[in-house]
Amino acid sequence: MLAYIIRRLLYAIPILVGVNLITFVLFFVVNSPDDVARMHLGMKHVTPDAVEKWKVEHGYDQPLLYNRDAPGVEQLTDTIFFEKSVKLFAFEFGSSDAGRNIGEDISQRMWPSLAIALPTLLLGLLVHISFAMLLAFFRGSYLDLSGVILSVVLMSISGLFYIIAGQFLFSKVLHLVPISGYEPGWQAWRFVLLPVVIGVISALGSSGRWYRTIFLEEIGRDYVRTARAKGLPELKLLFTHVLKNAMVPILTGIVVVLPLLFMGSLIMESFFGIPGLGSYTIEAIQKQDFAIVRAMVFLGSVLYILGLLLTDLSYTLVDPRIRLS
């Protein structure tokens, strides 16, 4: 088991190197630092001096890959590639183009993200599974049919609509919760409530439908028929046998997103003014702060790869038939 984990971690290295190269090419080769500096300073009337000054201030004044003028090892380390890309491996994100420490920002802002994402996930699981179970229990009936139709309709509505409609209805008309904002500590629940509810509802269509398919697949299996033939009541059958076995694909599908919960949701956080990593990223994109976007791309990939590893491990935990080799 330990050997497997270590080997998987080693596999992750070339992938992260690849991610790093992609971001490097995107951010420094497609557009030279000069272009970026010029864009930040405004396109017109930019003197070469101003460009130079901006590059020095933000640490873009070195050569890209190979520094001819530096002595010894520094020929390779005194470059943009080393400073901006290689150092990401040590989780040294450096400072943003606006001059703030990115690492510190991230460690502060991931908690509000988690405060939204985790309840959304848990409540979502509960609601979506109950919904799917209900449809599976009444399979083939009009309730099932209308449930499936409802799912397709819910799936076809833009995620933006749920947020806008939710804010309008619950905050503006009914004044139940504040429209946006955040407060650390337990007072946060007032601000967290609406995003969580909206998050659960907006995913109800796709998740509910998917879970229903899983349940129905499980219901069609032989062991279920046997259990039913032995006289097990339908409800008990569903909750003890079907649910237990169907949880394997459901849970493993969720494990992969667990680490990514820290990243938060771009849209949700920016609409509700939650100071999490999602809104951090979106602000960086809108202000064209490339240092932050670069850091988030790397962080996201690390978390995703971690999620994949956890998924494989969780398979062995829930399904003893699978052995890792």
Partner 1 sequence: MIKPVLLWTDALVFLLVFIVVAFGFYARRYEHLRAPWREVVRGRIAVASLVVLTFYTVTGLLDSLHYRKALPMQDGQVEVQYAGDVVSVLDGLLGGIATQAEKTYSAPFATTLFTRETVVDENGVQQRIFPRLKYGGAHLKDPLRERAADIAGRSLMAFVQALLFMLALFVLLALLLGRHWNSTVLTTAKRLWHGESGVPWRTFMITVSLLVFLVLLIANLAPVWHVFGTDKVGKDVLYETIKSIRTGLVIGTLTTLIMLPFAVLLGMMAGYFRGWVDDVIQYLYTTLNSIPGVLLIAASVLMMQVYMDTHPELFETMAERADLRLLFLCLILGITSWTGLCRLLRGETLKLRELDYVQAANAFGVSRSVIMVRHLLPNLMHIVLISVVIDFSGLVLAEAVLSYVGVGVDPTTLSWGNMINSARLEMAREPMVWWSLLAAFSFMFTLVLAANLFSDAVRDAFDPRMRR
Q: Which residues sit at the interface with partner 1, rule CB under 8 A?
A: 14-15, 18-19, 22-23, 26-27, 30-31, 35-36, 38-39, 43, 152-153, 155-161, 164, 167-168, 172, 260, 263, 266-267, 281-282, 285-286, 288, 290, 293-294, 296-297, 300-301, 304-305, 308
Q: What is the spatial distance between Cα 263 and Cα 278, in angstroms, rounded to a whole number?
A: 6
Least spacing, CB of residue 75 vs partner 1, in Å: 27
Q: Nearer to partner 1 by C-beta: 18 or 184?
A: 18
User: Which is closer to partner 1, CB of 171 or CB of 314?
Assistant: 171
- Taking the complex as a whole, the smallest distance from the CB of residue 88 to partner 1 amounts, in Å, to 13
**How far, in Å, CA of 325 to CA of 310, rounded?**
15
Nearer to partner 1, 24 or 315 (CB): 24
CB of 74 to partner 1, least distance (A): 28
**Residues linked to residue 95 through DSSP beta bridges, in sequence order:** 101
Smallest distance from the beta carbon of 99 to partner 1, in angstroms?
19
For partner 1, give the closer residue by CB, 245 or 265: 265
Whole-number Å distance between alpha carbons of 191 and 181: 6
Beta bridge partners of 101: 95
Q: Which is nearer to partner 1, 245 or 281 (CB)?
A: 281
Q: Which CB contacts under 8 angstroms, 24+ apart, belong to 59-68? A: 59/83, 59/84, 59/94, 60/33, 60/36, 61/33, 64/28, 64/29
CA angle, 104 as apex, 101 and 105 as ends, to 5°? 85
Chain centroid to Cα 66, Å, comes to 35
Q: How far is the CB of 70 from partner 1 (least distance, A)?
A: 28
